C-alpha cells in the first residue's frame, strides 16, 4: 500500500472510531434498567447484591457496554424484577392500593 493510501486509510479509521465513540447508543435493556432503577430509587450496589453480581457488571449494563450473559439472562431478569418490586416499594406499603391485598 502506498504512503498516501495508508495515510488516508488511517484518517478514515480515526474518523470512524471517533464517530462510534460519539454515537455509542445504549441498548434497550440498558435504557430500561436505568429508568426502572431511577423510578425505584435503587443504587447500583443494591441491585448488585440482589442479583449476586459485582457492581461493575451493573454499571456496564446501565452504561450499555454489556448485557447479561444469555445463559443467565432469565435468572437475572427474575431476580431483577423481584428486587425492583421489593426494594422499590414506597415506605408504608404498595404503590397501588389495588395491589396491597386489602380489599
Per-residue pLDDT tens over the stretch 5-53? 444 445 544 544 444 444 456 899 999 999 999 999 999 999 999 999 9
Distance CA 49, CA 32 (A): 19
For residue range 80-97, what is the model confidence (pLDDT) as tens digits? 999 988 876 665 544 444
Closest CA to 27 of 55, 53, 62, 54: 62
What pTM, to 2 d.p., does this model score? 0.61
Whether pLDDT at 101 is above 80: no
- Alpha-carbon gap, residue 19 to 74, rounded angstroms: 34
Rounded to whole angstroms, the Cα distance separating 29 from 73 reads 11
User: CB–CB of 88/41 below 8 Å?
Assistant: yes
DSSP 8-state assignment for residue 64: T
Q: Is 93 helix (H, G, I), strand (E, B) or coil?
A: coil
Amino acid at each position: 500500500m502506498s504512503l498516501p493510501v495508508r495515510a488516508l486509510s488511517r484518517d478514515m479509521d480515526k474518523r470512524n472510531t471517533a464517530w462510534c465513540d460519539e454515537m455509542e447508543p445504549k441498548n434497550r435493556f440498558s435504557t430500561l434498567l436505568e429508568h426502572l432503577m431511577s423510578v425505584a430509587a435503587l443504587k447500583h450496589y443494591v441491585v448488585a447484591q440482589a442479583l449476586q453480581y459485582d457492581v461493575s457488571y451493573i454499571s456496564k449494563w446501565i452504561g450499555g457496554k454489556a448485557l447479561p450473559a444469555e445463559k443467565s439472562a432469565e435468572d437475572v431478569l427474575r431476580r431483577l424484577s423481584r428486587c425492583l418490586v421489593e426494594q422499590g416499594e414506597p415506605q408504608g406499603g404498595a404503590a397501588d392500593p389495588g395491589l396491597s391485598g386489602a380489599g
